[in-house]
Amino acid sequence: MSDQIKQSIEAGRTALGIELGSTRIKAVLIGENNQPIAIGSHDWQNSYVDNIWTYSLDDIWKGLQDSYRKMAQEVKEQYDIPVKKIGALGFSAMMHGYMAFDKHDQLLVPFRTWRNNITEKASQELTSIFNYNIPQRWTIAHLYQAILNEEKHVADIAHLTTLAGYVHWKLTGQKVLGVGEASGVFPIDIETKQFNQTKIEQFNHLIESYQLPWKLEDLLADVLVAGENGGNLTAEGAKLLDPTGVLEAGVPVCPPEGDAGTGMVATNSVKERTGNVSAGTSVFAMVVLEKELEKVHTEIDLVTTPTGSLVAMSHSNNCTSDLNEWVGLFAEYSKALGMDLDMNTVYSTLYNLALSGDKDTGGLLSYGYLSGEHITGFEEGRPLFVRSSNSHFNLPNFMRTHLFSALGAMKIGMDILLKEEAVQLDEILGHGGLFKTEGVGQRIMAAALDTPVAVMDTAGEGGAWGVAILASYMLNRGSTQTLEDYLNEEVFANQDITKVTPDAEDVKGFELFMERYKAGLAIERAAVEHLK
């Protein structure tokens, strides 16, 4: 097998996916069987500068180069060969946000990420005009808010894109977006798989009085669906990705996708009535719809699969960040007592303790809002733990509370889908950091959604593996093979899956916790207003 893999690498019968997540940039090289050969990763963090969550351009490129270098280094160590040729390449990143460039390709304002809740007025107005939910983090909401704020840079915009679109553009010269990524920029016409032309005209009419020197269509990237070619790695792009100069140019690159779309691919959740939930820094649950929703819900985003099928998403800005800090605190305490435990042991111990807690968390309550939370109406966050004097305060309940709270806002949106809209969901596939401790995240998620939760043994590779699969699909698909068939027949045919069905008492306990969670939002509001 080792010789086969070595031959595949040397011949360039591989695909590389790189995804820029919120806290990690990950590069995954896959072979002819679509399984990972080598992995490289780079940890990074957003910065809060002038009231904006952002990443610098320097950090973007340093992180990309470092993750690529570590992947190539792993290939060198395992197979004693350099990575010269790659069969296909794909880039993905956290969706949404705002990257505006002028005609000289200069970034006009610092990158505004999905985490910023600063576009409430724009979001509300556009949702009303379009009769289509436009969340605050969408690119078009950021653009319209900048117009409403009369920001000087707006008149100079020549190109508007996302993080994934930016990286793809710089490495290929092509200003394109995959349809799934594009669906978080501006609404998609499900029939044409392109930006909705009627809504583009509505937007142009809306901003006429500002007398800007462009129309919206002048700024937007071209939209491509999975399987189409997004361009080729240029000589400059190859040097930008691999400064050592070993990587050869000319690699075909698939359309850049968002982490939502790559999560769908990584969990084989692109068919109707399938869904997946990604739980890490943020949490989003997605269901591929059989039909349009009956009403517009501001708690529910409508995006698409990488092939352009309609998807309903419940997206919460906050998931495990505050929970991770509590785990880190317990690790510090252990170290202070002279016990130098590895973090996997700390997580596993604390997470498993949560399963023995009271079903409703014993009256405890927390909000892990490091940033604002649009589903519950918060423009800023204040991490908060609170309890009544007669609550059952112990470590299992404490951990169970933080695990429940990590999914609280997302559950509000999913309840609308599953209970109000009666959307059918056979099971949901989980991936992301919450599921690393075997069994625990699945059981908590199953309780939150009252739906079976499955985890695949490849889910830990996440979106970087997913976009590598999209690159492989572009390269290897048959002339009539759909992405759904490719995933079923070529990628997941022999996949090991672990499924957890919801426990009735856990479900009941989560519902009781949610009553407390909703009633306590006034406490979180007071914290935002009084804790500056």
Distance between CA atoms of residues 184 and 92, nearest Å: 13
Distance between CA atoms of residues 133 and 129, nearest Å: 10
Burial of 251 per CB tally in 10 Å (0-12, 13-18, 19+): buried
96: CB partners within 8 A, 6+ apart: 113, 114, 135, 137, 138, 139, 162, 184, 185, 258
Residue 120 one-letter amino acid: E
Residues forming a β-bridge with 88: 15
- How confident is the model at residue 130, as a pLDDT? 97
- How confident is the model at residue 461, as a pLDDT? 63
pLDDT in tens, the chain (532 residues): 688 899 999 999 999 999 999 989 999 999 998 999 999 999 999 999 999 999 999 999 999 999 999 999 999 999 999 999 999 999 999 999 999 999 999 999 999 999 888 999 999 999 999 999 999 999 999 999 999 999 999 999 999 999 999 999 999 999 999 999 999 999 999 999 999 999 999 999 999 999 999 999 999 999 999 999 999 999 999 999 999 999 999 999 999 999 989 989 988 989 888 898 988 888 989 999 988 888 999 889 899 999 999 999 898 989 999 999 999 999 999 999 999 999 999 999 999 999 999 999 999 999 999 999 989 999 899 999 999 999 999 999 999 999 999 999 999 999 999 999 999 888 899 888 899 899 999 999 999 999 999 988 755 567 899 999 999 999 987 667 899 999 989 898 887 888 999 999 999 999 999 999 999 999 999 999 999 8
Burial of 308 per CB tally in 10 Å (0-12, 13-18, 19+): buried
Helix (H) or strand (E) holding 495: none
Distance between CA atoms of residues 29 and 401, nearest Å: 38
- How confident is the model at residue 290, as a pLDDT? 85
Distance between CA atoms of residues 77 and 455, nearest Å: 30
Helix (H) or strand (E) holding 283: strand 283-288
Distance between CA atoms of residues 272 and 264, nearest Å: 12
Burial of 460 per CB tally in 10 Å (0-12, 13-18, 19+): middle
Q: What are phi and psi of 212, to 5 degrees?
A: -80, 150
Distance between CA atoms of residues 448 and 407, nearest Å: 7
Give one word for 338, left, alpha or beta, with left for phi > 0 and alpha for psi -120 to 50. Answer: left
Three-state DSSP class for residue 193: coil
The two structure tokens encoding residue 255: 């359309």
Q: What are phi and psi of 428, to 5 degrees?
A: -130, 140
DSSP H helix total and E strand total for the chain: 19, 22
Other CB atoms closer than 10 Å to residue 480's CB: what's the count? 6
CA angle 24, 28, 31 (to 5 degrees): 170
The two structure tokens encoding residue 79: 């197979």
Place of tokens 């409703």: 360
